[in-house]
Structure 1
């Protein structure tokens, strides 16, 4: 009687294994590479990392010698934002496309993104960490110049004008609130016609949830 052949990873064909690996996340692929020589080789296949780069970094072209290296370089630069990067990138891209068609002047007022070092320095200055998705958004665009229409809305209300600008990091940190009722609140916008701002709570000291965005007058009414 023939002895049954034992089944293990090494005896399976590559194609079905690669198909299974294609369903894994980037961190699971990295774990697979640590299990055995066979999986280390298969989990390093470039097509798998092309897919991961497309999912997480929305990459359509490879900026390095391999897709795996491309993914690693992107992760080194933006890894802490990997869960929010795709959503925010698409949102900014849609907004830019809309402004390019309907309001080019406003588009030119949007500033380039901040660096990690600048974000770190702002956190040291205000003594609070920024939410990760907020940091990610500032990496893409660091507010806007206070010229022309405001990004957050420009309209005539009754007998006055309202134009709300998205503040850059430096301006926002200069106006960081540390008085009773507003401790730990960072301004995000400014209407130069009314002086009103939207704030984001970086502390729960005043009863806000961390990351909550609000107008002080509206918060007081609720």
Structure 2
């Protein structure tokens, strides 16, 4: 009672601007119902401006008062009020990066946000509610709007493309409509919702790609073995015989933050507006005899297994050989041989080394390096331990004096930084 009396002795502007400005929505509404004087203090437009900034990230007023703005946004997005701000900030980071690094991908993300009806339809098909942060994300950005899965646009996936040997894949972020199409084709799936899709095709035959949703990333909607509700995972067996699963994140917000950090990373590789799934080597390129070597790696979960009886982690690696512009023609050279050593080590520090050597690179190809040219090849290697690394050297022959010289390959490690809680069963 004493505190109540002391509060009433303060001027209304002090109550409104110095006390009520710290209240959240629920507290502000409750205090406004106590008496007329406190109602007037609570309904000061400055307090509603703060709430609009806190929950909806509004910087400019859209209607006659901030309170009207708040009410309008609350009617539309009120169910997401406590997750909207974090999700919106992450999308602002993602779109800001993509707009600069890949305008083509940015255009696919510019469609209208998903409607509540579309998200309700997904839940109806699944017979399970979607995580609130996933629904909120689609109300902000409705995935990628690709005209057709049979066009070259599938090369512009937000999660990047990968080409290694005969394998080519590009992963896109599905729209709500894309999720619904997948659900109509797979009515039996109830434990997870696919929010990404991989288009897999042989290089050069982009018009004949085949969607492979079984390898898509998913949000778990029902506890399933070690996978919990909300986990973002890949390769989850939806039968009773649950196999070990790659868990990327504990929830969708965490996964979205990983995506934002990856797009902001200097290691992100973008070529002609296409994002690569390969991650540049942390040691950076190595240059010797005017030849520069750069290495990038990535884990391929769909070819990996965490089952103890057949444990393996399939890693792809991409090596780029290049020669800068302005180099004298006498430094032109041709690749002769490669010699690579792959070392893996387990938790007990046991090591095993295998050697890969041969003429040229894949299929014996022997690239000829000239000033301003580059040659890229990719291959993969399975590891039976959690970590490993590769070293080696490439032997070149000078086109000028026929002398041979070796260029060491930068040491690079095989890791799974994007996957958490992963272990061999």
Q: TM-score range by the shorter chain?
A: 0.7 to 0.9
Cα displacement (A) at 1:205 = 4.8
Q: Deviations over 1:23-63 (max 9, x none)?
A: 11111111110011110000000011111111111101111
Are 1:204 and 2:202 counterparts? no
TM-score by length of 2: 0.47
Paired residues of 1:175 and 1:186 also in contact (CA < 8 A): no
Query: What is the CA RMSD across the aligned residues, in angstroms?
Result: 2.2
Distance in 2 (CA, whole Å) between partners of 1:76 and 1:90 is 21
Cα displacement (A) at 1:185 = 1.5
> Higher Cα Rg: structure 1 or 2?
2
TM-score by length of 1: 0.87
Single out whichever of 43-52 and 13-22 deviates more from structure 2: 13-22
> For 1:69-80, what aligned pairs fall within 5 Å after superposition?
69-80=68-79
Cα displacement (A) at 1:206 = 5.5
Distance in 1 (CA, whole Å) between partners of 2:130 and 2:38 is 39
Are 1:44 and 2:43 counterparts? yes
> Which residue matches 1:113?
113
Paired residues of 1:178 and 1:185 also in contact (CA < 8 A): no
Distance in 2 (CA, whole Å) between partners of 1:155 and 1:205 is 30
**Residue 233 (structure 2) aligned to one of 199, 214, 222:** 214
**Residue 191 (structure 2) aligned to one of 173, 184, 197:** 184
> Which residue matches 1:3?
none
Task: Report the number of matched residues.
Answer: 215
Cα displacement (A) at 1:178 = 6.0
Paired residues of 2:193 and 2:218 also in contact (CA < 8 A): yes
> Which residue matches 1:170?
177
> Which residue matches 2:370?
none
Structure 1 residue runs of 5 or longer lacking an equivalent are: 1-5
> Which residue matches 2:9?
11
Are 1:33 and 2:32 counterparts? yes
Distance in 2 (CA, whole Å) between partners of 1:185 and 1:10 is 54
Find the residue that maps to 1:200 and give its secondary structure: strand
CA 1:216–1:13 in structure 2 vs 1: closer, same or farther (change >3 Å)?
same
CA 1:213–1:174 in structure 2 vs 1: closer, same or farther (change >3 Å)?
same
Distance in 1 (CA, whole Å) between partners of 2:220 and 2:5 is 57
Higher strand share: 2
Structure 2 residue runs of 5 or longer lacking an equivalent are: 202-211, 237-243, 246-304, 307-424
Paired residues of 1:189 and 1:197 also in contact (CA < 8 A): yes
